[in-house]
Amino acid sequence: MSFPLYAPAEEHAMLRETVRALADEKIAPRAAAADETEEFPWDVYKALVASDLHAVHVPEQYGGAGADALATVIVIEEVARACASSSLIPAVNKLGTVPLLLSASEELKARYLAPVAGGEAMFSYALSEADAGSDAAGMKTRAVLDGDHYVLNGTKMWITNAGVSEYYTVMAVTAPGEGARGISAFVVEKSDEGVSFGPKEKKLGIKASPTRQVILENVRIPASRLIGEPGSGFKTALATLDHTRITIAAQALGIAQGALDFSIGYVKERRQFGKPISDFQGVQFMLADMAMKLEAARQLTYHAAAKSELAMHGSPQKDLTFLSSAAKCAASDAAMDITTDAVQLLGGYGYTREFPVERMMRDAKITQIYEGTNQIQRMVMARQLLK
């Protein structure tokens, strides 16, 4: 691997400017209201679709922009800088569709990727269950073959953008007793008979992105909606997360960058003892540490994104699993530290909803939990090291 592999190119810098301008104009001004009302930001979705930033990763042959993994990271990062909930639009569209890109038939890809690329539908990912979170292989959802159809029964938990997404990648057991080798992946549509959703979870953060149960009651779908071969679903799920943990890292980077940017502006203006608090060494050291942690996590994330891109194009990367877990873990831990320090730098003001850093701190917390807790990420990394 040559060193420039993950260095952003000129087009990445231009993309960042484009996304930041859109985020500053149309996303940031309504982020606080979206958090307060807990309503999905349809206006933001429409703005992202209008600029073709809602699912940039979809390949051109399916009507998408065909952006590389680093470009996708930059889009998510810049949207998250303004509003973490809104960044889950491009992030979850990628999470839901990567299983198709990795394993689905061309027919399935064409049928479901094109509407996502065109902004006609969003795509969520349904793996976790109430008793199968970190231990996803212990899922109970069943898919029983009946002629040329499968019948699905079960309840998926913690599904991001559930209810607003039209399509769902659903993992279900097709061969009970075979553990991970008995799990298969399917495309389920919101409109399928027997699909319903639980109430919206009342959450600490990312409140404008609905998190709900996906309930499957005798959902009968064509066997052609099987993603890959029967029994390959868990393998596809793990391979998917190798790519999409990097998007969670990107979200964490954006949240942290937003908090750092606001903090810098604030400490330059806030005066105590007759001078800006930015003149105090204690404050300067806090800012330096915040920026250092952020930049270290960013470089690791961009490096992982470059590896992801190579892997998606048929060049296996033995260290992708380690790097994607490391990026997600490092970036989310950094985001939690940085946003907490941002609240501290603003003092009493930081603890109020008048300023955005308390929202950023609440939003940052989930990045340490979803797509595998950071304790699980450390287990994944250790296993890679000990192979």
Catalytic residue set: 371
Interacting residues of 112 by C-beta distance below 8 A, sequence separation 6+:
97, 100, 104, 121, 123, 167, 187
Q: 3-class SS at 53?
A: coil
User: Alpha helix locations (H) across the chain?
Assistant: 10-22, 31-37, 42-50, 69-82, 84-103, 106-117, 233-269, 281-312, 320-346, 357-366, 374-386
State residue 214 phi and psi, 5-degree precision: -110, 115
Q: 3-class SS at 167?
A: strand
For residues 150 and 141, what is the distance between their CA atoms, to the nearest angstrom?
Answer: 12
The DSSP string of 101-147 is HHH--HHHHHHHHHHHHTTS--EEEE--BTTBSSSGGG---EEEEET
Q: Are 112 and 187 spatial neighbours (Cβ–Cβ below 8 Å)?
A: yes
For residues 293 and 326, what is the distance between their CA atoms, to the nearest angstrom?
Answer: 14
Interacting residues of 220 by C-beta distance below 8 A, sequence separation 6+:
146, 149, 150, 151, 152, 192, 193, 194
Beta bridge partners of 152: 143, 219
Interacting residues of 2 by C-beta distance below 8 A, sequence separation 6+:
none
